Structure 1
Amino acid sequence: MVCPICGEGNACVNLGNKDVSRSCWCNDPSITFPEDLLAQIPLAQRRKACVCRSCALKHQENKQVK
């Protein structure tokens, strides 16, 4: 799966065919997915594609700097 924001692999365990008993990186409570991040996903891909860890962390860092 690819990130709908940057186009890189999102390493999502939940949507892949990998071992679903493992927890995905996106379940880390220190990583947030605020509405303004999710709004960057193209409409056709919302609720169908996962943002990658890099984009989520970059968004968090940018919010903390402001």
Structure 2
Amino acid sequence: MNCPICGRPNECGIIAFKEQGTECWCFNEEFPKGLLEQVPEESRGKSCICRQCTITYNDSVQPKV
């Protein structure tokens, strides 16, 4: 499956979790409201946001030290 924001593979681990019991990278991740709002309305609840979009968003909203 692909990320609804950037279109790249989202590395979803849900299938692996169901088959092997291994956790997906997103299980311990927080997805801020601002990031979720970037998902097009028609794609919400259908595909996972990728790790890179999550990292990029979080880096953009965290204060620079």
TM interval, shorter chain, is: 0.7 to 0.9
**Same amino acid, percent of matched pairs:** 40
Two-structure CA RMSD over aligned residues (Å): 1.5
Q: 2:63 & 2:5 partners in 1: Cα distance? A: 21
Local SS of the residue matching 1:57: helix
Q: How many residues align?
A: 62
| Bigger Cα Rg | 2
Note the C-alpha offset of 1:19. 4.6
Q: Which deviations, in whole Å up to 9, do the C-alpha atoms of 1:3-53 show, x marking residues without a partner?
A: 000100001111x4x35211000012xx32011100111111101110000
TM-score, structure 2 as length reference: 0.84
| Structure with the largest fraction of helix | 2
Question: Where do 5+ consecutive residues of structure 1 fail to align?
Answer: none
TM-score, structure 1 as length reference: 0.83
Note the C-alpha offset of 1:65. 3.2
| Equivalent residue letter for 1:23 | E
Cα pair distance change 1:55/1:24, threshold 3 Å = same
State the partner residue of 2:6: 6
Whether the 8 Å CA contact 2:8–2:50 is kept in 1: the answer is yes
